[in-house]
Each structure stands twice: as structure tokens, then as C-alpha cells.
Structure 1
Amino acid sequence: MTRSFLTAPDGTTFRDLNGNGVLDPYEDPRLSPEERTDDLLGRLSLEEKVGLMFQTVIEVGDDGELLEAPGRISKSATTEVVVGKNMSHFNVHHIQTARQAAEWNNNLQELAESTPHGIPVTISTDPRHAFVENSGVAFSAGPFSQWPEPMGLAAIDDVDAIRAFADIARQEYVAVGIRAALHPQIDLATEPRWGRQAQSLGHDADRVAEFTAAYLEGFQGDVLGATSVACTTKHFPGGGPQKDGEDAHFPYGREQVYPAGMFDYHLRPFEEAIRRGTAAIMPYYGMPVGLERDGEAIEEVGFGYNRQIITDLLRGELGYDGVVVTDWELVNDNHVGDQVLPARAWGVESLTPPERMEKILHAGADQFGGEECVDILLDLVAEGRVTEERIDESARRILLVKFQLGLFDDPYVDVDAAEALVGRADFREQGHRAQAESITILENVERDGVPTLPLFAGPEKVAIYSENVGADALAAWGTSVTDPADADVAIVRLGAPFEPRDDLFLEAWFHQGSLEFPPGLVHRLLRIADHCPLVVVVNLDRPAIMTPLVPFVSALAVDYGSSDAALLDALAGVIPPRGSLPVEIPRSMDAVRASREDAPSDTENPVYPLHYGLSLHGPAALR
């Protein structure tokens, strides 16, 4: 049972979190978050303060129960980390239903009340309102309303649309007890091969800064409060310029480079995030190579270990005093089944886990992402290598956010209300509309003065040859045929090309390497176009090289995560697509290889430049 609310002699109702029957200042809802933080910090043991400084994955039981054994990815039983290790920040992974998630939250918060001071749990999540399913990056929507990936929100190019998405996502998160978002991801996608572009907002720094402001407003509000979701803006100081586009999750992608000298360009969205009061900031794994600022060489270690980046730049120059949480697993290797992913200890691989942790704290970080090794930090304090005053500095920042969110006053949710709100019909409809509107039309060939798009303009149904488009969605518009020779039109959905890899844990889920379609696929599409008008739609999680397709397609479009129904609504003009490219589409891989990783729109003579997109209404026109 949860500890009941008590009433103080003056009539104040409060939660008796430490069970002493007295209204202590940290339990007093009338005091400011700062006052309550100061009081609680002085009461906590070293072990309780250290527990605050770790955030890792725990998983949800099928019926919302707590899992008391290691999960698919999580390493420990729930009671072990909450009670045994005094941890109170957890990243939730797979959620099947809103009821399950809400029940789990309430069970988890009840367990947290059994700890000495009843510190509530902060549940965080990676993005989960779109289509990508990658346990290292994001989750598909499941019971939540489904929207295009953030790149698609950027393609709509409307700050009000981003604010509306963020507000709906906030409501759905809060309903099930998720109170921290491990997003927005505001890295500038200047390197076309980089595998994390779908969750970015493009590479136009000024526009991404505007989007960031709207995103934070929708999730956090003007100030953090009892209906807010605290955002962790990432990945400082911008994770886009990865050498050759390889991702820094993996040893071969550890180097981050600035051949065009545009380090400060990548800072612009973060400057806006700081102005807008982001609750937390996460540095990226990348290791800067050959970087100088103000005549000073920047140490070639991962940004999470880098004092010049976190303390001197972020806290000093930019004036940020919020929480800094590292990206996942900078201290220990991650073993899952028979696969391993080395600790992302780039530049400090030779250091031991305690030495890595000490360097991260010296750099200025507050919380260790993906770790639960509280014993290492306790040993560092016992050995005099880390002071308790340094622990207090981080614990204070972390506790303050919990108080601002109102978690100490009531972390529980209404399970029935969560089930009614999450995935509500009007939320899903707005998500469907955004999916359709984000579609970006790149080619729309006219035949006898009539453009290919919009499709299905006549009253009769047409014969449609399709690939990767569901029969149920097609049935509203035409009759499916299996031979292009029998079709009035062909619609083919493609994923952007990538090189499959599966050696390291998580690697198979990351799309990396060449952006070129294989020649056999191009030849097969050409043969389809010999029989009927061909509409090709490419899922733009990275900017595919579309040059070979342009000569023979009748229409070419890109999506950023959309259902078949939303795509067909866009192609038919029922919901007019209004997307414009948040990144450029390069002409060739040679142009990509010759471009500079940190420079926006840097490939020579791109097929489609930044912000390109055609309208379906009237003559095709560049938006």
C-alpha cells in the first residue's frame, strides 16, 4: 500500500514520504522547489545521493507488474535497482498498452515509497510516436498516436505543427507516468550518410532552432510543472558531423570532424534550447578530432568526458546550469545475449571503469546514462577521488527537476483515464494528417498536359500494381493487379539504401554506409515503368541517391514515416502534401564523399536542394 496523505495541524495535506508523521519541508507543497531540494539534500545518505546519478533501462511486465529478473535488455531486477541501489531514474522500452504502462508506473512508484525518503521515480523514454523501431534510438508508436519521424515534422516546415505534436505527445506521456523525454534530437544532419537523421530536424540551423523552441514549449511549457514532460535535448554540441557518416555508437564511428570549421553553426539550436529552459542536455559519444576553439586545441576524447565542452563551453560560455546526462554506457561494456557493444569510451579506451567515471564527473556531467554501477562511484568517494560536495552538486540539480515536475506531491496516474486518452481518435487523426502533409513531391511528370499526381482523379477505380503497399489501403482507390502490364499505375515504396551490418549489439538496427540503390533494383523499376506510369516513394531516413530513378519515374516522392493510408491520401490530394526537404538530396556518392561533414548543403550540384518540394495544385512549383 502507498503511504497515505496526512493533514498537518495547520490543515496542509501532504504525503508523508519518510513515514515520520511530520510535515517536513521537503514534503511541504507550499514551499518552492528550490527550498524543498535544499531540505531533502541535507537529509539524504551518500548512497541515496549517488543513486540519483544513474539512469538505466528497466522493463515493463506484460500486465504492468514489476519484473524481478533481468529483462531482454535490462540487467537487474526492479527491486534491486530501486531499493538496493537507490536509483530513481529509468528509461522505459517496449510498451504494449496504455493500461499496462500506467499500471507499471503506479507499481513502480509504490515500490519507490518504501525507500527511506520516498523519492519518486522519473520515467523517461526515447521517441515513441513514429515508425522507427530501434532500441538504441526510438520505438514505433504502439498504443500512442503515430506521427512522421521528426524529420517529417521538419518537412512540414510549420512551428505550430511541431508545437501541436509536442503538446499531444506530452499529454500521452503524462497520462501513463512518463515525465522525461530523451529528446528532442537537434543534431544538424550535415553529413548525408549519418544513420540518425530520421530523428533530427534537418540541417538548417536557424530553422532547427525555431523548431526546437516550439518542441520544448509543447513538452515543457513556459516552466516545468505538474503537467510537463522534462526534455533532454541532445546531442551536445551537435552529433551530425561524424567522419564519413559512421555512427559513434560503434568504434569505427568514434571520430567527429569539422573540416569546414563550422563547429559554432552546430551550436545554434542548443543555444535556443538553453534559452527555452531545457531540463537536461545530453552530450554525444563522438570524439572531436583536430578541433580548435579560440586558439585552444580541444581534447580528443568523447564529448561526455570532455571538460572543455561540458564545463567550459556549456556551463561557462553558454550559461547552462541544468542537468547533464551522459549518453548510454560510457563506463562499462554492454553485453546482451551473445553480443557485446564496447563502452563508448572514445579516446579513453585504456582507462578503467572507475577512471572513466572520475573523468566524466570532472568534465561536469551529473548523471550516468545506461549504467547502474553505483558501487564504483561510492568507492571513488571512499577513496577520496570524488568529494561528497561534488556529489551534492549533481544531486541538487537532479532533485530540483523532480520537485518542479510535482513528482513528490503525486507521481501516480489514473489507469482508466490513461487508457481513454492515449491514442485518442482526434490525436490519431492529427498524426495521420501530419504523415500525409509531410510527404515531399520531388518529380511530377506531365503527360499530354496532365500531371501524374494527384492520382485517382477520375470517378472510376483504377488497376494498381504495387510493392510494399498494403491491399487494405489500396482497396479504397483501385483494384490490385500482379502484373505491371495490366496496371494503370504502379506505386512502389522503397526504403533508403544502406549496408547491412550485424557484428556489434545494436548495429543491425542502424542504417549506415552507401546511399546508392543497387543496380538490379534500378533495372527492375525501369522495366515496370516500361508498362505503366511509375510512382516511387522513398522512405527518407537518409538522403538516398535518386539520380538513376529520375529519368524514368512519372512521380517521385519521399516520406519520413507514414502509413499506407496516409501516403495514398497524399498522392491522391485528399490531404495535400506540403513537405519540403529538410536536407538536400545528393547527386552521387562521389559528391557525398567530397563534401565536408560539418557543412550544410555541401554536396556539389545536388539533385534536389534544401527546402525543395513541389505542389500538387496548379503548375508544379518549388515551395
Structure 2
Amino acid sequence: MIYKDRTKPIKERTAHLLGLMTLEEKVGQLIQLFGWQTYEYTEGRVELGESFKRQVREGGIGSLYGTLRADPWTGVTLETGLSPRAGAEAVNAIQSYVLEHSRLGIPMLIGEECSHGHMAIGATVFPVPLLLGSTWNVDLYREMCRVTALETRAQGGTITYSPVLDVVRDPRWGRTEECFGEDPYLIGEFAAASVEGLQGDALDSESSVGATLKHFVAYGSSEGGRNAGPVHMGKRELLEVDMYPFRKAVAAGAVSIMPAYNEIDGVPCTSNTELLRDVLRGEWEFDGMIITDCGAIDMLASGHDTAADGEEAAVQAIRAGIDMEMSGEMFGRHLLQAVTSGRLEESLLDEAAARVLDLKFRLGLFEQPFADPDRAERVIGSPEHAGLARTIAAEGIVLLKNNGVLPLSRRGGTVAVIGPNADAGYNQLGDYTSPQPPSKVATVLDGIRHKLSAEPERVRYAPGCRIKDHSTEGFDFAVEAAAGADTIILALGGSSARDFGEGSIDLRTGASKVTHNVLSDMDCGEGIDRMSLQLSGVQRELVKRLKSLGKPIVVVYINGRPIAEPWIDEQADAILEAWYPGQEGGHAIADILFGDVNPSGRLTVSIPKDAGQLPVHYLGKRSRGKRYLEADSQPQYPFGFGLSYTEFSYTNLRAEPAVIHADGTAEVTVEVENTGRCSGTEVVQLYISDLVSKVTRPAKQLKGFRKICLEPGEKQVVAFTVNAEHLSYIGPEYTPVIEPGIFRIGVGRNVNDTLNIELAVVEE
């Protein structure tokens, strides 16, 4: 059989296999079912369900989604879910049945969520992408992706639904935490690194998985920050901003892409032929698989209302270029009938099925569809991977304010650790996280206690309040704990923790307690959009009570979107923005608080003074206006901002040559010196402004960055190469152009703090 001959070219193998398939088998390859619904796991044994077996025998199934996933949505708990070994064994049972009982023995594609680690019990929980972006360390992120791919493939997962490449435009959006930030250039650098890390040198390696880029496109620009809301965006901005990271990732070799739920100018992305066929397949020459988000085809008939019924919705989607449907409901119910009735050409079915088969061949599934349970048990959640999670968390935490109270001394003094996020493990993991045993997650309280383990009496704790609850029952106990301390560490913020059945917190003791009336603290995550960026519940009131004690207050924000609290910005002695720092976050925060790590994280989203300023992202036009009646339009903390325990100076900014042709290059150099008393890491940022253009342009655009470590008194010359890609923009005809003229080059520590010189571009 040619398709089973690994020496034959993949295209030939795909064509041969497709020619052997029935119509039902072709449709089957386009269907992805929910994997956790295909089996029962009891007493350490996996039993496949009869419905799943029947579907395999009658026509086959192309893929399973979330086979190894556990969370409240799936209903799979820590007690009923699969361990690393059991997960690998479950995948092997599924693949064995498929190979033995389907007519052609086509292996299953196992798709998993992996935006900040594999979403499975026992896997390493890394910080959320918003923190990953804040590291400005692409190499470190690439290493994380290699680890994630290793853990996922070890259990039998072969394709992942990451990276998320949405450009954040309104941080009230609950999925802000899943994104790298508000800048397309930075996201593009992380996008390429993600593909390189996840897919590795060879897609069929036992340590590689296919990357699925999502959500294509403009999902982060929805109306009012509401999830999946309409997008009002011109073609130029779409091409230049929101599509840019996807283009970079496609160029890096991504094998799969997922259209977004939203519509753009009235056309849903799921059925947008211009986006999927003309741009993605045509202009970008993308030859991978296009898979829908869950329920997206159904939305065409029930939500967007561009289709009269399910069959029309399915036909619209496959005509536009969709190859596989996550959930499989619409394709499984309607495609066969659409072809037999003549409503859909079989050639379109062949085209989609061929791309699914091609991906399976490229992943090496026909040669090795099975996982190695011993390897899964050995590598998943290893101590080395936990160490990497701690390093990443420490690099992405941003020091927003410090009046000298940090770093804390280990030599003496009592610390009061207060706040709803001081000892709430799930609150620091973010959305798209599987349940974890408490021993695996280090909270802020854990981290500080570990630092001062020789003197446990120096640490006092009280939760004070919950995230969303308006009860002040715990205030007096928090004040009592803080009154006897020298410094207050106040862990505030948000929560993207879904109901994992962990119970509630006793506001008097801080202990977990079982209750039948659990108050959900979730105020962020998918589907949790907000009208405000203020702290939820009574957290601000707690800060005011503690401030009255007159003691130094260090605020640690643990959250998934920017927080706008000007009073706290003014009154706190120091502020750390830790985002959701993952399983090792408490240790990483303590490392920074006590000076074992010098903070080097920098903001990738602007933090406004008030939600009324939105949009406040830095990539605004010069014509956007100056101020409101109440305040100017500048954010509280600008894009690229972050403090250190040392100081850096910038001098001798140059561009050589200072005049270039449109196809030329210039080397921009700057000298950076550590002028402080301790070693530190600086993020050197390059911005470019096109001073005069035929189409209005942003005031500044990030076009390069370098992260460098310097000892006290050490200097380093940092160089950037500026070329046509950095100077061009989408012109009047919607094609890239470089106009002769003057460009301002800015290099510095954030978008509002740069040295500036001019670069001239002249005609030939």
C-alpha cells in the first residue's frame, strides 16, 4: 500500500490514500470530537465508549480535542483525570482501536491546549502569555515551547492550539491574559519563536507538536472589549497590525491556523473567503490545516445569522477554506448530505481531507501513533521544567514603583502577607489550566515563608478579603496581623480560576473551608469581560485600612489584565505587576522581593489611569487627540515601562549611514551603561516614526529590542539593523511602500523615554 510506504513522498501517499476513501471516510477526517467524552477512566483503567467505537467503524474520526484536558468545563477533576502515565495509555488505547477497527487504519490527530504549558494534570504550568511577553526574552520563550512540546508529545498529543497571536486593543477583554501584548512587532517575534519551539527541527520528532495559530484575525479588537464581538477595522490596519504576527508565524512554518469567532466589517472570519483563501492560501502560500474554534460554524446560523440553517453554515465554512471543525457537530451532521444533494462539490471535500491527511503524514503518525508511558511519567512536570517556570516568571514580573522599600532585607523585621491572592494557588495560574494538587503551586505566602524559613515567626498572614465578595469580615484580622509587622506585602488583583471545587477561604484564619455556597472569585478569563479596570470587590478598601497603619506597603498584583487604581499607584511604596505567574510564581515573586533576582520585566500593554481613557495602547495615530477634560490621554504606565534595582544610562545614539536608499540598511547603535550598584538586565527598545507620509501613521512603532545584562559600571554598545521591512507601511494601494523622507529613530527604556536621531531615506 503506497500510503503506508514511508519512503514515498507525502504528496503521493496522501493522493493514494484519498483515492481509496469513501465519501463517509472523507467527511470523518474533517471531524474533531471532544476527546474526554470518548472514554471512561475508572480504577486505573481506560474503557472506550460504544458511541466512539461505532463512529470509528462506520467512517472514522479525524481528530480528538482535549483528550488529556481536565477542568470544570470538561468535568474532569484531579481525582477522575489522567496522570501522565495514564494519559499516554489512554491515547494508545484510542490509537490501537482506530488502527485495528477502521477500514484504512488512519491514525487519530490528538489536539491539546498548550498556551502556557500542556493543559493536563501533572504538566508544568508556566506563566500566562501576558507575562511571557513581559520577559521580552524570545529565546527563553522558545525554550519553554520546546518543553511544552516535549510534555505534550510524551502523552500522545500531536497538535496544540497555541500560540494566541491576538493584538490587545481593549484590556477589559477577558482573554487579554492569553495574549503577548498590544504591539504587533513584539507579538510577531514571539509568534515565530513559538512555531520554532513547538515544531522543532522535525515535525515527526518525539519532542515536537504542530502549532495552531489563533485567532485569525482581529479577535483582540472587538467592540467594547466583549468576547467575540464585532470588529470595526479598516483594511490597512488589519493588514499592518493584526495580521502581521500571523504572517510572521506562517513564514516560520506553522502547520495549522484557527479562524476567530468575530466578524470583520460584517463578514465572520469562519466563512471569510478573502481571509482564508485569497490572503492565507494565496498571498501567504499557507499549505497547512485550517480548523474552526469550538462551535464557530454553528454561530454562522445562530449568532452571525449569515446562514439559514446548519447545512448552509457548514457549506459556507468549507467553501471559505475550513478543513476541520472542532466539536464536529455541523460537519458531521451536514456535509455528507450536502455532497449527495449536490449542494457541495466533492472536490472541496477532497481538498480539505487531503490537508488533514498531509498533516498526519508530516507528524509521522502513520509510522508512530503511540506514546511511551514510561517517558511520559519521566519527563512531564519534571523538576527541571519547574525550574524553567520559575526563571520565566521572575523575568516577566514588572516593577512599576519603588520608593526604596525594595528589596527587602533578610536580616530582620516582620512581614505581614495580606490579601486575597496571598495564598490562593489557583488564582495565580490563569485560565486554560488543569486542576493541580496544592503542593505543586507555590503561592506568594509559600515563597516568602521559604525565604524566611529559618525564622518562621517573622511571617504573618491574613487574607483580608476575597476577590469579588463585598464582605469586610476579614479586615480586622488583616489589620491585626499587619499592625505587628514592619512591612506589609499586599497581594491583590484578579482571578481566572474556574470552579475546581477547592472551597472557600476563611477570612479569619486564611484556611480553606468546605462550603456549599462557594463564591466564584473569577473576574477574568475567556468569556469574563469587564466594564471597569478597577479592583473587584473591596480590595481597594482593604488597602485604605492598611494604609492607615503608616507602615510600608508593597503591592503585588496577580491578575490577567491591567489594573487602573491611581490612588494605590500614589499611596503604595512599591508595586509589582506579576500577572498570572504560574506554578512557581510565589517563589519568583519572593526572589524579587528579597533581591535575589533584579526585576527585568517590561510592560507589553499600557496601563491606563482609568478605563475611560481606552483605547490607550501606544500604537495610536498622531491625530488621536491630546486630552480629556479630567486628565491627559497618557497612560499611568506606558508600553515598555519597568523599573530595576539599578540604573541605566543611554548615550551616543548613532545611525550609520544617516542617509540611505529605500532598499538600503543603516546600523543604529547606542551605548548603554549600568550606572547603579548592582548587576541588572535592561530591555533596550527601538522605535521608528515616519514623520511625513501619504497615509496617517502611528506616532511611534516598536521595530526592535534587545535584552542585555550588565554589571555595575559595565557598558555595552547595542546595535540594530534598520532596513526596508522596518521603514515600510501599507500604502494607499494596500501594498507595502517606503516613501522618501525623514524617519525619527528612538532608542531607550520605554516608548516615552528614548534618545532620538533622524534617518533620511532618499530616492535612487
Interval of TM-score (by shorter of Structure 1 and Structure 2): 0.7 to 0.9
1:350 and 1:89 map into 2 onto residues whose CA distance is 26
Which residue of structure 2 aligns with residue 295 of structure 1? Answer: none
Q: Does the Cα contact within 8 Å between 1:170 and 1:229 map onto a contact in 2? A: yes
1:610 and 1:351 map into 2 onto residues whose CA distance is 45
1:389 and 1:599 map into 2 onto residues whose CA distance is 45
Write the mapping of 1:217-616 to structure 2, written as runs, cut at 5 A: 217-227=196-206, 228-248=208-228, 253=229, 255-258=230-233, 262-264=237-239, 265-289=241-265, 300-332=266-298, 345-348=302-305, 351-373=308-330, 374-445=332-403, 451-455=404-408, 457-460=409-412, 462-467=414-419, 468-470=421-423, 471-476=445-450, 477=452, 478-481=458-461, 482=478, 483=480, 484-496=482-494, 510-513=527-530, 514-517=532-535, 520-531=538-549, 532-562=551-581, 563-592=585-614, 604-616=633-645
Q: 2:60 aligns with which of 70, 76, 86?
A: 86
1:89 and 1:393 map into 2 onto residues whose CA distance is 17
Which residue of structure 1 aligns with residue 96 of structure 2? Answer: 110
**What secondary structure is seen at the aligned counterpart in 1 of 2:178?**
coil
Q: Which moved more, 1:207-216 or 1:533-542?
A: 533-542
Q: Point out the structure with the larger strand share.
A: 2
Q: Does the Cα contact within 8 Å between 1:345 and 1:356 map onto a contact in 2? A: no
**What secondary structure is seen at the aligned counterpart in 2 of 1:196?**
helix
Distance change (3 Å), C-alpha of 1:258 and 1:595: farther
Q: 2:49 aligns with which of 68, 76, 84?
A: 68
Distance change (3 Å), C-alpha of 1:259 and 1:522: farther
Q: Does the Cα contact within 8 Å between 1:188 and 1:240 map onto a contact in 2? A: yes
Q: Which moved more, 1:460-469 or 1:535-544?
A: 460-469
The amino acid across from 1:556 in the alignment is I
| Aligned residues between the structures | 551
Q: Does the Cα contact within 8 Å between 2:495 and 2:560 map onto a contact in 1? A: no
Equivalent pairs: percent with the same residue? 28
1:168 and 1:597 map into 2 onto residues whose CA distance is 33
Q: Does the Cα contact within 8 Å between 2:175 and 2:524 map onto a contact in 1? A: no
TM-score (norm 1): 0.82
Distance change (3 Å), C-alpha of 1:507 and 1:329: farther
Displacement of 1:64 in angstroms is 5.7
Displacement of 1:125 in angstroms is 1.0
Displacement of 1:151 in angstroms is 1.4
Distance change (3 Å), C-alpha of 1:159 and 1:64: farther
TM-score (norm 2): 0.68
Q: Does the Cα contact within 8 Å between 2:295 and 2:327 map onto a contact in 1? A: yes
**What secondary structure is seen at the aligned counterpart in 2 of 1:198?**
helix
Distance change (3 Å), C-alpha of 1:151 and 1:79: same
1:348 and 1:216 map into 2 onto residues whose CA distance is 35
2:621 and 2:227 map into 1 onto residues whose CA distance is 18
Q: Does the Cα contact within 8 Å between 2:65 and 2:326 map onto a contact in 1? A: no
Distance change (3 Å), C-alpha of 1:508 and 1:241: closer
Displacement of 1:212 in angstroms is 0.8
Q: Does the Cα contact within 8 Å between 2:255 and 2:359 map onto a contact in 1? A: yes
Displacement of 1:370 in angstroms is 1.9
Matched, 1:41 2:56: no
The amino acid across from 2:638 in the alignment is P
Relative contact order higher in (CA < 8 Å, ≥ 6 apart): 1
Matched, 1:191 2:170: yes
Distance change (3 Å), C-alpha of 1:243 and 1:540: same
Can you list the C-alpha shifts for 1:432-460, whole angstroms capped at 9, x where unaligned?
11112211110111xxxxx11112x2423
Displacement of 1:537 in angstroms is 1.6
Q: 1:617 aligns with which of 629, 632, 646?
A: 646
Displacement of 1:576 in angstroms is 2.9
Displacement of 1:599 in angstroms is 5.4
Distance change (3 Å), C-alpha of 1:372 and 1:81: farther
Can you list the C-alpha shifts for 1:40-91, whole angstroms capped at 9, x where unaligned?
111111111111111131206433614527xxxxxxx432443345112111
Can you list the C-alpha shifts for 1:217-264, whole angstroms capped at 9, x where unaligned?
01112452233201110111231110010001xxxx3x1122796212
1:49 and 1:360 map into 2 onto residues whose CA distance is 16
Q: Does the Cα contact within 8 Å between 1:259 and 1:598 map onto a contact in 2? A: no
1:597 and 1:377 map into 2 onto residues whose CA distance is 46
What residue ranges of structure 2 are gaps of 5+ in the alignment? 71-80, 424-444, 453-457, 462-477, 499-518, 625-631, 648-675, 683-748, 751-764
Q: Does the Cα contact within 8 Å between 1:490 and 1:534 map onto a contact in 2? A: yes
Distance change (3 Å), C-alpha of 1:105 and 1:170: same
Q: Does the Cα contact within 8 Å between 2:157 and 2:209 map onto a contact in 1? A: yes
Q: Does the Cα contact within 8 Å between 1:261 and 1:598 map onto a contact in 2? A: no
Q: Does the Cα contact within 8 Å between 1:258 and 1:596 map onto a contact in 2? A: no
Displacement of 1:420 in angstroms is 0.6
2:220 and 2:15 map into 1 onto residues whose CA distance is 38
**What secondary structure is seen at the aligned counterpart in 2 of 1:465?**
strand
Matched, 1:29 2:32: no
The amino acid across from 1:284 in the alignment is A
**What secondary structure is seen at the aligned counterpart in 2 of 1:123?**
strand
Distance change (3 Å), C-alpha of 1:580 and 1:54: same
Q: Does the Cα contact within 8 Å between 2:204 and 2:364 map onto a contact in 1? A: yes
**What secondary structure is seen at the aligned counterpart in 2 of 1:224?**
coil
2:116 and 2:155 map into 1 onto residues whose CA distance is 14
Can you list the C-alpha shifts for 1:2-30, whole angstroms capped at 9, x where unaligned?
xxxxxxxxxxxxxxxxxxxxxx1111121
Displacement of 1:560 in angstroms is 2.5
Write the mapping of 1:196-215 to structure 2, written as runs, cut at 5 A: 196-215=175-194
Displacement of 1:129 in angstroms is 3.8
The amino acid across from 1:262 in the alignment is E
Q: Does the Cα contact within 8 Å between 1:102 and 1:415 map onto a contact in 2? A: yes
Can you list the C-alpha shifts for 1:588-614, whole angstroms capped at 9, x where unaligned?
12101x659995998921001111111
Displacement of 1:201 in angstroms is 1.3
Q: Does the Cα contact within 8 Å between 2:222 and 2:262 map onto a contact in 1? A: yes
The amino acid across from 1:352 in the alignment is D
Displacement of 1:343 in angstroms is 6.8
What residue ranges of structure 1 are gaps of 5+ in the alignment? 1-23, 70-76, 131-137, 290-299, 333-341, 446-450
Distance change (3 Å), C-alpha of 1:38 and 1:260: closer
Q: Does the Cα contact within 8 Å between 2:599 and 2:645 map onto a contact in 1? A: yes
**What secondary structure is seen at the aligned counterpart in 2 of 1:203?**
coil
Distance change (3 Å), C-alpha of 1:286 and 1:585: same
Write the mapping of 1:143-158 to structure 2, written as runs, cut at 5 A: 143-158=122-137
1:586 and 1:600 map into 2 onto residues whose CA distance is 17
1:421 and 1:280 map into 2 onto residues whose CA distance is 26
Which residue of structure 2 aligns with residue 18 of structure 1? Answer: none
